[in-house]
């Protein structure tokens, strides 16, 4: 299934004239597992968290630089949700909304969130930090795809996902 979704994503990016680079690697489930395969890339590698709001049941996708800390309590306060109210969402919700499972969360999966029900939080550094490329999984954790920060923003706009920019350290 992930190869068809990756192909659909690649075709969509082509229609937007977004050029990408891709590194294929064995399936990885953590940033630590992924980094040895990305020694040659130039840019910012991301980590992605799929979360839910305990009270409102809203879904959130957070993309941050792989070496930045994401404090869920601090983030919940910044988003006006209240400390302690952000939790990891279950894999079934991620499969339903983004069509990817554990280890594959990615901003690029927002293409498949057709009703824009997933709110997107983006590390400001990824688009304002002067990076040549930013790297995400392309619907599979057996590859990492790079695209220019401006192209990421254009992709998000085209899919109806205006990012909430936050600072992570």
pLDDT band at 83 (very low <50, low <70, confident <90, very high): confident
* 161 vs 169 pLDDT, higher one: 161
Q: Choose the weakest-confidence range: 13-17, 28-32, 67-71.
A: 28-32
Q: Give the mean model confidence (pLDDT) for residues 86-92.
A: 93
pTM of the model: 0.95
Task: Write out the two tokens for 29.
Answer: 């489930």
Residue of 122, 101, 113, 117 lying closest to 47 (CA atoms): 122
| pLDDT score, position 1 | 56
* C-alpha atoms less than 13 angstroms from C-alpha of 129 in its C-beta half-sphere: 20
Give the mean pLDDT of 97-125. Answer: 96
Examine the pLDDT at 9 and tell me if it is beyond 80. Answer: yes
């Amino acid at each position: 299934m992930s190869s068809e979704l990756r192909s659909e994503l690649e075709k969509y990016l082509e229609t937007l004239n977004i050029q990408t680079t891709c590194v294929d690697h064995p399936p990885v489930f953590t940033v630590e597992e992924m980094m040895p395969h990305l020694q040659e890339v130039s840019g910012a590698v991301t980590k992605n968290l799929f979360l839910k709001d305990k009270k409102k049941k809203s879904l959130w996708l957070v993309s941050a630089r792989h070496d930045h800390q994401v404090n869920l309590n601090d983030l919940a306060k910044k988003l006006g949700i209240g400390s302690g109210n952000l939790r990891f969402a279950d894999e079934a919700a991620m499969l339903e909304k983004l069509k990817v499972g554990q280890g594959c969360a990615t901003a690029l999966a927002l293409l498949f969130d057709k009703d824009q029900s997933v709110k997107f939080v983006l590390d400001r550094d990824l688009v304002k930090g002067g990076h040549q490329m930013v790297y995400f999984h392309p619907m599979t954790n057996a590859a990492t795809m790079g695209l220019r920060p401006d192209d990421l923003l254009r992709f998000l706009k085209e899919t109806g996902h205006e990012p909430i920019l936050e600072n992570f350290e």
